Amino acid sequence: MRQIDFSPLYRSTVGFDRLFSLLDGRSQFETQSYPPYNIERTGPDSYRISMAVAGFSENDLAIESHQNTLTIKGSKSEEHSEEQSEILYRGIASRSFERRFQLADYVEVKGATLKDGLLHIDLERNVPEEMKPRRIEIKRAGGGAKQIEASVN
C-alpha cells in the first residue's frame, strides 16, 4: 500500500486545504488510483485539475458541480467493431470511473477542455467583496485634555 505525503501541498496552495485533508484521510483506505490526476495552481486564485482519460471522448465524460463537490464521471460505451479481434494484452484501461473532489468555499468551475487524452478542468476562487479582509482606519481619540495658553505677566 502506498502512503502519499500531502504536506508540501498544504504549504503551496490556497483553497484546497480541505481537499488535501480529505485526500490525506482517505488515502489510507482507498486504493483506487484510476484515472490519475494532477492538481496545479495556475495563478493567485486559479487552479487546474488535469486528469488522464485516454480513450474517452467528450460524450463519454460528464462533469457536475454541486455546492462544494465536483464530480467527474467516465463511462465508456461498448463499441463493436466490424472485424472482431482478440485482445492479447489490455494496457489501456477503459473501465468506468467516478472521481469526486471537495472544493473550498467560493471555488467555481470555469470550464473544461479535453486535449491529447487529458481532461483539464479550470477552477477559480472568487471571494465576494464583503468577505474579503478590509483595512480599518484607526482614528485618534479626542478625549484628551486641552492645553490652555498661559499668559505671562
Helix and strand element counts for the chain (H, E): 2, 7
- pLDDT, tens digit (0-9, with 9 covering 90-100), for 45-81: 889 999 998 888 888 899 998 888 899 999 877 664 4
The fold of the 7-77+86-128 domain, in CATH, is Immunoglobulin-like (2.60.40)
- pLDDT, tens digit (0-9, with 9 covering 90-100), for 96-145: 888 888 888 888 899 999 998 899 999 998 888 877 788 888 888 765 56
Q: If you average pLDDT over residues 145-149, what whole number do you get?
A: 65
Amino acid found at 81:
S
- All residues at 6 or more sequence positions from 106 whose CB lies less than 8 Å from its CB, including other chains: 125, 126, 127, 128, 131
Amino acid found at 51:
M
Q: Which residue has the higher pLDDT, 120 or 1?
A: 120
Closest CA to 40 of 15, 58, 61: 15
Banded pLDDT at 30 (limits 50, 70, 90): very low
Residues facing residue 65 across a β-bridge: 70
Question: Where do the structural domains in the chain lie, given as residue ranges?
Answer: 7-77+86-128
Rounded to whole angstroms, the Cα distance separating 51 from 36 reads 6
Q: How far apart, in Å, are the Cα atoms of 17 and each of 37, 142, 152?
A: 17, 45, 70
pLDDT at 35: 86
pLDDT at 150: 67
